[in-house]
Each structure stands twice: as C-alpha cells, then as structure tokens.
Amino acid sequence: MSDKSNNSPAYLFEPKSPLVFRTGRPFDQAGDPVSLDFPLPSTLAGACRTAIGDVKGWDFAEKIQELKDTPVHGPLAALITEDGATQPLFPKPADAAYMREQGQKNAEVLHPRESPPDTWSDLQDKPGKDLELVYLPEDAEGKPVSGAGWWNQTHLTNWLLGKGLPAETLPEDLGWSGPQQELRTHVQLESKTFAAATGQLFQTNNLSFAPGRLNKDENRHEGWGKEQYGLLAHLPNDDLKETAQLFRRIGGEGRIAHMKQHAEGWPGIPEALTSALGKLEQGKELRGIRLVLATPALFTYGWRPGWIKDDMIGCPPGFSEEDKYTICLRLKAFITPRWEPVSGWDLVKNSQDNTEDKQDKKGKGAARAVRRMVPAGAVYWFEVEQGHKHLPKLWLQPISDLPQDRNDGYGLVLPGIWKR
C-alpha cells in the first residue's frame, strides 16, 4: 500500500481448492458444518511456522518455543488478477455504514460525539463511563444494506485520510465480499470394507477463494470472473528468504495452498497518510487518530485493551516510555462488531497435567480456553497525548495485550486521522 517499493518480506497463499476453517464446535451427527468466515491469524501463523520448521529440518518437539516466538503478521486478503498481479485487501472499517437512501446506495461515516446529559449506559460505574457514543450523521436516512467486506487500498487510504468515498461508488464495488461458503456432501465409508455406508451422508462447509460468479446485466452475460483471491502473510524476520515457493497444507482436512514470495512485499503506509498524521499536532481541524483493526484483536478486558488504564490513557505495546518510540493515547470512543470466540487445540500441553512446570513436550494435547475476540474492522478513536511524530510507525503493528498473541498476528492496526 506504500507509494514506494516495500521490501518487507511477505508471502502469498494461493488456495488450490476450497479451504476448511472449523469453528471449534463438535463435528458429529448433531453438529452443524459451520465454517469461519475468514481464517484466524493463529491459523496462518501455524502454517508459516510449520513451513519454517520443515524447510530448516527442525525437530518440532525441540524447537517448539523458538517457532512460537517467530512473529507472523496477517492474514490480509489478496486479489490476484488474471495477469498474476496481486493487490492487498483490508477489512471494512466499522465506522462505515452502508445505507440505501432514496433508491441510492452509499457509505455513511459514523462519528463520535458527546451524548445528552440524560443518556445512560452500562458503564456508569465502570472505566469508560465518559466515552463518547458513536452516531450516524444527523441527516442520515434509509436502511442498512450489504456491501463489500474487504476494501482495496485506494478506498481504504481515502477513508483513513477522512476523505470519505466517491458518491458514485456502490458499496459492492469497494472491493471483495469475502470468500464464498461452499457446502460439500460426502459419503461415510465402512471402516472394514471401505464401501459406502447406506444412508450415511454428511456435509462440510468450505471457503472458496476461486473466481466469483458474475451477475447478468445489459452489457454482460452471466459467467465467472477472472480474478481469484488468496491470503497475505508477513514474516518480519524473513525466515523463508531462501525459499521462493512451496506447497503447504493450511486449515482443516489438509487442503493445499501454493505459498510463494510476494514480490511487492508487505503493504507499507502511504505517503499521503504519513504526511497527514505528521500534521496532526498543529492541525486545528484534526482532533486525533482512529485505529482500525486489520486483524482480530485479543484484549484483557474484552473491548478494552489492557494497556489502556482506568483513566482511558495508555501506550500501545512497543511504544511505551521504555521503548525507542513513545506514543501515549487517550481513548475517546470505539465501535466494534459483535465479539467472536476463539479457542483451539494445544498440541504441546498434556491434558492430564494443567501445571505449567510439568508440561510434557510430547503431551497428547488439550483444548484451549475460549476467549472473546474483537473482530477485524473495529475502530477506536484516540486523542494523542504524546508522540505525534511517531504515529506512522503504528501502521500494521500488533496491539493485542499478550506477547504470544502479538507474535501470532492478532490486533494489527491501521492508523487514520480523526477530523473534528
């Protein structure tokens, strides 16, 4: 996304078949074949770390901690055009509301503002009671409509700069709606004969990154698009720099994806946004910054990061007073879609022993505790207390509370300006 070439190492996962990403629900006769809408950061991190271990010939039992300490950022969606060019896609910011007004579709901008004195919330006696509420414009009318869940770099940059979107741009034309859910029906096999079991059918839900179906209009017949989609990952330490490409399993059922170096690298911050953030301190028309989550985040207090204290002031991880660059922010408002659960399976931990000092490196594994995740696209509004000149360095940096979650890519943020 940078206006200049970006040398940050990135890898593109190009699925060769629909991928499976389970929700963690039981998969039995009473269960539903439900799939996640998009892979979690930890799923992509696991695929990348497994590739690193295989390429280097490591013993995973001996190198498990070194692999877990390897940072992997992502995933972002990627558009792969017919000629092989790749463009990053970013989740729709939650402060954009798709609306239909007087027969026209557009995207309204949500803004925080002070609430009337008689406004009540469930934070009255808790930290955050003075946060501003987020509203549609007072003159907004109409009903919500669906649209693209992923934006291309041009539209996202304009949004972060506070320019809004062109009036003639329809919500569905902003980027990509996301991978399509694809149901597949399977036959159960008898364990002894490997023949089909009579009447035993089951379904699995898959995510298809293949070209989408085109709608018929006056200038076009029905058919299939020529673009396909993939996943983009960033390896800050460039752990696979000597490997140009390889095929890897990713997600459930061992589905295959072509993993290759992304020539354009990891998207960098646009120069226009760097300039706008640099003018924040002296700009009277600017109030602060917005942080948009590019990947889901895991925070200690649910919606509130642990690094934000009860007075709503704090420094993001890696930007404290002890670090090279210091940024201090005051939270003023936030908007987030409904929380999402995340758990998983710990392949190292022995389910018979819950104590950390007695973990068996070859344990049978144990279920991870379920945590509440702030979805990608959530927006946090901040006033800047300190570190105005360092704000561009927040670009696609993880702000989740725990170091392991940050290494896994949870909580990557996109900074934008907040106009008065």
Question: At residue 13, what are phi and psi to the nearest 5 degrees?
Answer: -100, 115
Tokens of 22: 């389970």
Contact 145, 167 (CB under 8 A): no
Global confidence as pTM: 0.89
Taking each helix axis as running N to C, give the angle between helix 271-278 and helix 153-160, from 0 to 180 degrees, rounded to the nearest 10.
10
Exposure class string for 132-171: b at 16+ Cβ within 10 A, else e: eebeeeeeeebeebebbbbbbbebbbbbbbeeebeeebbb
pLDDT of residue 31: 57
Q: What is the pLDDT along the chain (420 residues), one digit of tens a residue?
A: 333 334 589 999 999 999 989 877 766 665 566 788 999 999 999 999 999 999 999 998 889 999 999 999 999 999 998 888 899 999 999 999 998 887 788 888 898 988 777 777 777 778 888 899 999 887 778 888 999 999 999 999 999 999 988 877 888 889 999 998 888 888 888 888 889 888 888 777 889 998 766 655 545 556 666 789 999 999 999 989 888 789 999 988 889 999 999 988 999 999 999 999 988 876 677 889 999 999 999 999 999 999 999 999 999 999 988 888 999 999 999 999 999 999 887 877 765 555 555 444 555 778 888 999 999 999 999 999 999 999 999 999 999 999 999 999 999 999 999 987
Phi-psi region of 274 (alpha: psi -120 to 50; beta: other; left: phi over 0): alpha
Number of CB atoms found within 10 A of residue 386's CB: 14
**C-alpha span between 23 and 21 (Å, rounded):** 7
Inter-axis angle of helices 60-68 and 41-56, nearest 10: 130
Close Cβ partners of 190 (under 8 Å, ≥ 6 residues apart): 196, 197
What was the pLDDT predicted at 2?
35
What confidence score (pLDDT) does residue 250 get?
A: 92
One-letter amino acid for residue 183 of the chain: L
Tokens 């170096």 sit at which residue?
A: 261
DSSP 8-state class, residue 328: E
Distance, C-alpha 16 to centroid of its chain: 22
